C-alpha cells in the first residue's frame, strides 16, 4: 500500500492535518540531517527544517508524483531553502559572532579541532554561493547528503555523466578559489 501517496492526496484535497503530521514524521530526521550537515548548528537545523516543511506543505498542491517522488521534491525544497538562507542578510550577520560564542562555551582543545573543520566547511559554503543554484545543489547533495552521482542525476533530472562533469568542474573551481583565498 502507498501510504505516502494517500497522505499527500488527503493533504492536497482536504488539508488533512493527521496526514501532514505522518508525512513530516516520515521525513523529519532525514531532512534535519541534511540541513545539520550544512550548518553544524542544531537549533538552526531545527528551525530551517521546520521552515522546509512549512514551505512543502504550503506548496504541496503543486506536487505531481509523475515528475518526481515526494522525497526528491522535498530535497529540492530543502536544498533551495538552504541556499536562500546562505544568501540571506541574517545568515551573513550571524556568521560574524558564531565563533566567539562557541569558544566561550567549549574547552580549548576541542575548539581548535572543530573550528578548523567548521572554517573549512564555511569557506566552501561561502565560495559555493558564487555558483548557480544547480551547481550548488550538485555539490550540496554530494558533500552534505553523500548521494551517488546516479541519485543526484535523478534528483536534478540530469544525466549521470552531466552531474559528474559538473561536479568535478565545480571542485576544480572551488580548489582554485580556496587557494586564492589562502594567498589573499
The domains found in the chain, sorted by start residue, are: 1-87 (1.10.1740.10), 130-184 (1.10.10)
Distance of alpha carbon 26 from alpha carbon 117, whole angstroms: 31
> Residue 38 class from Cβ within 10 Å (0-12 exposed, 13-18 middle, 19+ buried)?
buried
Distance of alpha carbon 62 from alpha carbon 57, whole angstroms: 10
Higher pLDDT, 123 or 161: 161
Whether 115 shows a pLDDT value over 50: the answer reads no
Q: How confident is the model at residue 117 (pLDDT cuts 50, 70, 90)?
A: low
The pLDDT value given to residue 18: 94
Q: What is the mean pLDDT of the chain?
A: 79
| Per-residue pLDDT reduced to its tens digit, 6-65 | 999 999 999 899 999 999 999 999 999 988 888 778 898 999 999 999 999 999 998 988
Q: Give the predicted TM-score (pTM) of the model.
A: 0.62
The neighbour count for residue 60, using CB atoms within 10 Å, is 19
The neighbour count for residue 154, using CB atoms within 10 Å, is 16
Cell 493533504 locates to 11
Q: How confident is the model at residue 114 (pLDDT cuts 50, 70, 90)?
A: very low
| Per-residue pLDDT reduced to its tens digit, 127-181 | 888 888 889 889 888 877 778 898 888 888 889 999 999 999 988 888 888 888 7
Residues of the chain with pLDDT > 70, as a percent, come to: 80
Amino acid at each position: 500500500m502507498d501510504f505516502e501517496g494517500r497522505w499527500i492526496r488527503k493533504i492536497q484535497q482536504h488539508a488533512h492535518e493527521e496526514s501532514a503530521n505522518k508525512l513530516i514524521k516520515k521525513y523529519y530526521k532525514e531532512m534535519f540531517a541534511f540541513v545539520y550537515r550544512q550548518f553544524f548548528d542544531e537549533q538552526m537545523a531545527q528551525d530551517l527544517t521546520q521552515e522546509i516543511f512549512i514551505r512543502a506543505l504550503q506548496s504541496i498542491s503543486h506536487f505531481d508524483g509523475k515528475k518526481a517522488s515526494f522525497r526528491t521534491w522535498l530535497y529540492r525544497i530543502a536544498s533551495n531553502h538552504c541556499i536562500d538562507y546562505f544568501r540571506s542578510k541574517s545568515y551573513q550577520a550571524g556568521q560574524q559572532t558564531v565563533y566567539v560564542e562557541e569558544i566561550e562555551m567549549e574547552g580549548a582543545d576541542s575548539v581548535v579541532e572543530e573550528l578548523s573543520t567548521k572554517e573549512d566547511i564555511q569557506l566552501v559554503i561561502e565560495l559555493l554561493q558564487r555558483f548557480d543554484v544547480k551547481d550548488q545543489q550538485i555539490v550540496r547533495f554530494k558533500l552534505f547528503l553523500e548521494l551517488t552521482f546516479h541519485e543526484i542525476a535523478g534528483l536534478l533530472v540530469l544525466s549521470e555523466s552531466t552531474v559528474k562533469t559538473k561536479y568535478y568542474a565545480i571542485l576544480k573551481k572551488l580548489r582554485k578559489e580556496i587557494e586564492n583565498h589562502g594567498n589573499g
